[in-house]
Structure 1
Amino acid sequence: MTYIDGYLIPIATDKLDAYKAFSEKIASVYREYGAIRIVDCLLDPGDDDGKQFHADEARDALADAGPLRDFIAAADAGPGETVILSWTEWPSKAARDAGLKKALSDPRVQPKPDEEMLFEGRRLVAGGFTRLMMFQEHRAG
């Protein structure tokens, strides 16, 4: 069964180009070791004030639960930062365990002594997920 490594990454907006290059390099190595898909999503700039929720009606319906957390709060992103939601899809947990071990020991993914850190590892939010459900795209017509 498909296995997903998910990440929430706070990053300085002026480092986005460097992150893209980093992610492309990492993705090519991960794919060599069995990853099916690597996806990076950038938080919509219209949602960057820390007060957004995907639907006003849902926010209003949940008002009694207290303040809702958005991705900015969850990632502890500060001024001048944005959030990347990223995931790597593997064919199975066993394929992920074997592939990730190989990928992380590959010299191509090891930081160079002169490379600047793109984000703080202590603020990276990560987890492994098994798929619960998946809904396919429906096209009318």
Structure 2
Amino acid sequence: MSYIDGFVIAVPNANREKFIGYARTFDVIFIEFGAIRVVECWGVDVPDGKLTDFRRAVQAKEDESVVFSWVEWPDKATRDAGMEKIMKDPRMDAATDMPFDGKRMIFGGFAPVVSLPD
């Protein structure tokens, strides 16, 4: 079964197009090194919760939107090998000019337990 890297970030609304360009530039590297699919989703209906929510998780400000992203890999071994190559790839040096505050990104790796259709 596949392996998923998930990400949630806050992106200033003024940087929406810059973010899309940034994602288009760097997401192809994930595909090149073994990812099956990369999805970047701009928050449209991200409600405030009573206890916690996506906005609080990334300390989103009034002028920011929440972006939910994931990278799908065939398996964890492919992901680990791919991420090692990505981190060494010289194209990643340009990733320092991020259109968002990377310190507020939350991320993690996940093993699917239910996947439909399968």
Runs of 4+ in 1 over 4 A off after TM superposition: none
Unaligned residue ranges in structure 2 (runs of 5+): none
Shift of 1:106: 1.1
Cα deviation digits, residues 90-125 of structure 1 (max 9, x gap): 01101000001111211112227xx64311121000
How far apart, CA to CA, are the structure 2 residues paired with 1:117 and 1:30? 17
The equivalences for 1:1-141 within 5 A come to 1-44=1-44, 46-47=45-46, 50-51=47-48, 67-111=50-94, 116-136=97-117
Q: What is the TM-score normalised by the length of structure 1? A: 0.76
How many residues are paired up? 118
Amino acid aligned to 1:69: T
Unaligned residue ranges in structure 1 (runs of 5+): 53-66
Shift of 1:84: 0.3
Cα deviation digits, residues 5-24 of structure 1 (max 9, x gap): 00001110111111111111
Deviates more, 1:29-38 or 1:116-125: 116-125
Q: What is the TM-score normalised by the length of structure 2? A: 0.90
Contact 2:36 2:74 in 1 (8 A): yes
User: 2:30 aligns to what SS in structure 1?
Assistant: helix
Shift of 1:68: 3.5
